[in-house]
Structure 1
């Protein structure tokens, strides 16, 4: 059980940091749009990455150093573009959103953005594959450690997504969404800068 609680604690500590993926889950929860699918996509993606990390893929980036810079660049470009989209929406006066949260965004489009924010983010690989993989090597039971980390991911994403649903009435006005889009854009750009900064200094 000690390995399980270690995995749970480490998983929560890594995933609770504010980032592009969490900002997107929060936004979808506030909109009340495809919340279950988005939370499930994030949690399952984390589970896959954690499994790779615990069972031997922690050395992948170490064996292919160029892969690190390639992932950083691809992730930064995507985040810059998506952040610009959010900032443009904020400058235009906020989302055209009614109080019920129905915006007409398709499930496929929403999940595509969600998965891109997850799989194009090098921080995800560094956390779930490299760091978690390294810590798992010190555990008496890798399976229990992995189970704890996976439970942490599912718990956090569903709590974030469905917890945000309860705040929808407070954020029903276009002005509130204008602020949210602006903050989301800033988060995206900050993460993008953090990805490319080690490559230019």
Structure 2
């Protein structure tokens, strides 16, 4: 299957092995299409929508996505290193065994995204919406998550050592299940951490503990 310049929407089409490297793709919509083993390396995508599409072994490295949507897509063993994603929505999309770093993500909605076991150490994820995301076992060491919304995110076994969590919104389970050694948090978060672990904070001598 090849792209037709006169067509703006494709449904249930087979784009396996298609070569779209270094292309400019604008205002297109793909629904239920298969891009397995295709290459979009170095491509510039503007306002492109992928809905329920499959990307297995797909190359996105060095690409630029601006104002794009990946809705409930399957992304397996795909290469995204060097890609830039801006003002986009990756809602409900599952990434499995992908090469993701270095990756630049700005002003993007990652609600319900699945990144279980993903390696994203050192990535700037500040201010991103990651509500109800699956980050179980992900490597987020040294990530900048300042101001990120992680409400409802699954963080069991997530590596957050050295991460900047100041201002991030986290549920109680995150303070218990994630690995947080060396993470930077603010005072309010420190209180939440203490409460989650059953600690009691006092401001001085504790009369109840006096002999």
TM-score if structure 1 supplies the norm length? Answer: 0.16
More helix by share: 1
More strand by share: 2
Higher RCO by CA contacts (8 Å cutoff, separation 6 or greater): 1
Give 1 or 2 for the bigger CA radius of gyration. 2
TM-score if structure 2 supplies the norm length? Answer: 0.15
